[in-house]
């Protein structure tokens, strides 16, 4: 829990697409904070593709994974206000299940975490363009990011096609005035010429540094804690 009166520092984790390893990387990030005895929380506005418990309630799978990997003791019910069973984009899952995202509720729950913990790591759904709601109201991930002035970390697969995916994601974010704090490559293979060139090219073409590379099966994030902490900036709490 929060120690002291300073404003929380925050970071938003986005990806170049679905299944690039955002939740896996986020779990390693939170583990690092736990190991350094920091007051840190996880947040995801909307989570789809979840299983049900025996009593019929939905299990927030990504939140459970992050908590299990990191060892943080944050209650699951504080991690995600909107949980869906259908494994599709949240805007479609919400429409199918009759539970649309309310941005006010998303922000209120996020702000409570920011008042309670020193560091809050928010994870997006899919890539940066994934809609949270698309009916009479239209809510994008960037509405949450920009309303709370969050800096972002891009998670990308280290393999073939990542130059295009990373550069397009970064250019979209820059055009929308979203701060990019760094890139993390997942499934990285040291000594693989493709992966090493992808790292060089993505840094060169975006002007954004690769903060860390995660190898298959890594249980720790290979980055000094001070460098990881420096990616977090004070956001806005209301």
Q: Which are the catalytic amino acids? A: 44
- Residue 189 near residue 195, CB atoms below 8 Å: yes
Tell me the C-alpha distance between 72 and 3, whole Å.
Answer: 16
Secondary element (H or E) of residue 22: helix 22-35
Write down the residue that tokens 């002035």 correspond to. Answer: 149
Tell me the C-alpha distance between 148 and 238, whole Å.
Answer: 9
Tokens of 150: 């969050």
- Residue 131 near residue 36, CB atoms below 8 Å: no
């Amino acid at each position: 829990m929060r120690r002291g009166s300073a404003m929380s520092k925050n970071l938003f984790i986005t990806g170049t697409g679905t299944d690039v390893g955002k939740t896996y990387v986020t779990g390693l990030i939170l583990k690092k904070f736990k190991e350094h005895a920091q007051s840190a929380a996880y947040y995801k506005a909307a989570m789809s593709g979840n299983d049900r418990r025996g009593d019929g309630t939905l299990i927030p799978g990504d939140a459970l994974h992050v908590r299990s990997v990191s060892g943080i003791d944050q209650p699951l019910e504080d991690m995600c206000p909107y949980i869906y069973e259908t494994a599709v984009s949240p805007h479609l899952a919400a429409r199918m299940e009759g539970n649309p995202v309310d941005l006010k509720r998303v922000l209120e729950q996020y702000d409570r975490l920011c008042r309670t913990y020193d560091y809050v790591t928010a994870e997006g759904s899919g890539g940066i363009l994934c809609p949270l709601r698309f009916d009479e109201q239209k809510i994008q991930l960037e509405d949450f990011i920009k309303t709370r002035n969050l800096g972002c970390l891009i998670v990308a697969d280290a393999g073939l096609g990542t130059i295009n995916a990373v550069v397009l994601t970064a250019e979209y974010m820059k055009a929308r005035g979203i701060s990019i704090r760094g890139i993390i490559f997942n499934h990285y293979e040291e000594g693989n010429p493709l992966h090493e060139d992808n790292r060089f090219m993505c840094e060169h073409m975006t002007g954004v540094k690769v903060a860390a590379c995660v190898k298959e099966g890594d249980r720790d994030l290979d980055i000094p804690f001070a460098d990881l902490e420096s990616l977090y900036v004070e956001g806005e709490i209301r």
